[in-house]
Amino acid sequence: MPAYRAVEELVRDQDQPRPDLTGIPETALWTVYHRAAEAARPDTVLPDPRAVRLVQELDFPFRARLGAARPWVAQAIALRALGFDGVVREFLAAHPDGTVIALGEGMETQFWRVDNGRVRWVTVDLADPLELRLRVLPHGARQRPVACDIRDRRWLDGIDASRGVLVTAQGLLMYLQPAQVHQLIADCAENFPGGTMVFDTVSRRFSARTRAGGQGPGGHRLPPMPWGVDPAEREALRTVHPAVTELRDIPLPAGRGLLGYAASHAAALPFLRKNRPLITRLRFAAAPAGHRAGGA
Q: Give per-residue pLDDT as tens, 235-283.
A: 999 999 999 999 999 999 999 998 888 888 877 777 777 778 899 999 9
Cβ(165)–Cβ(243) under 8 Å?
no
Q: Whose CA is closest to 30, among 111, 126, 125, 129?
A: 129
pTM of the complete model: 0.89
Structure confidence at residue 116 as a pLDDT band (50, 70, 90):
very high
Report the share of the chain in percent with pLDDT over 90: 68
Structure confidence at residue 3 as a pLDDT band (50, 70, 90):
very low
- Alpha helices, DSSP H, located in 223-280: 231-234, 257-264, 270-273
**How far is 255 from 263, CA to CA, in rounded Å?**
7
Task: Please report, in angstroms and rounded to a whole number, the separation of the first and last CA atoms in the chain.
Answer: 24
Mean per-residue pLDDT for 106-123? Answer: 97
Structure confidence at residue 25 as a pLDDT band (50, 70, 90):
confident
Report pLDDT digits (tens) over 136-178: 998 999 999 999 999 999 999 989 899 999 999 999 999 999 9
How many Cβ atoms are within 10 Å of 147's Cβ, its own excluded?
A: 25
